[in-house]
Amino acid sequence: MEDNQHDLLIIYTTKNGRTGAMVEPVRQGIIDGGANAIVRSVDEVQWEEMIHAQGIIVGTPVRFGGVDWQIKRLFDVTVNQGYPGPLAGKAGGAFVGGSRAGSGAELALLSMLHVLLNHGMVIQGNAFSSHYGPVALRDTTDEEMTAVCLAWGHHWATLVQRLYPGASGQPC
């Protein structure tokens, strides 16, 4: 990888496939926005990959209004090793697959963002789409889901390029 590439690492887990289906359009949106994306499941992601990335996007199914326990374990155990510091200043974001309106999708999304903020990461809202990150519910059509994931992938690509301009790839 060249130094001037902007890499976003997508870490995800899925329960019944809804969150998993969001990964590819998010990845495509990132590429469309001019950045690179690496995809890893919560089981396979390596700490070194997290350290190396300029941004981390986490996909989780809604589990009782919060993030999946395996995602939580990744941050509580693995990521805790170097805390505080190693993820500070990187771009961050989250996407969730849920069931109906009011079933906790936003709460799960925000819980994930809280973890990222805890690490000193930089997150951005979106005035023109789902405000805090892509959300797909049971009644969300494939078309709508794809559109919001593509839009947010592009949004995240723009953020990481803005945070890491030029070739150095060094955060401020």
21 binds a second copy (CB under 8 A): no
65 binds a second copy (CB under 8 A): yes
Q: How far is the CB of 54 from a second copy (least distance, A)?
A: 12
Number of amino acids touching a second copy (CB under 8 A): 66
Q: Is 169 helix (H, G, I), strand (E, B) or coil?
A: coil
Q: How far is the CB of 8 from a second copy (least distance, A)?
A: 15
Choose, by CB under 8 A, the member of 51, 52, 73, 167 that binds a second copy: 73
Residues between 108 and 127 that touch a second copy (CB under 8 A): 109-111, 114-127
Residue number, 46 or 144, with CB nearest to a second copy: 144
Report the run of H or E that residue 11 belongs to, with start and end.
strand 7-12
Sheet holding 55-61, edge to edge: 36-41, 7-12, 55-61, 91-97, 135-136
169 binds a second copy (CB under 8 A): no
Report the run of H or E that residue 165 belongs to, with start and end.
none
| Interstrand relation of 91-97 and 7-12 (parallel, antiparallel or unpaired) | unpaired
CA dihedral (155, 94, 132, 75) in degrees, to 10, reads: -130
25 neighbors 149 (Cβ within 8 angstroms): yes
Query: Which positions lie near a second copy, rule CB under 8 A?
Result: 63-70, 72-73, 75-77, 80, 83-85, 87-89, 100-107, 109-111, 114-137, 139-140, 148, 158-159, 161-163, 165, 171-172
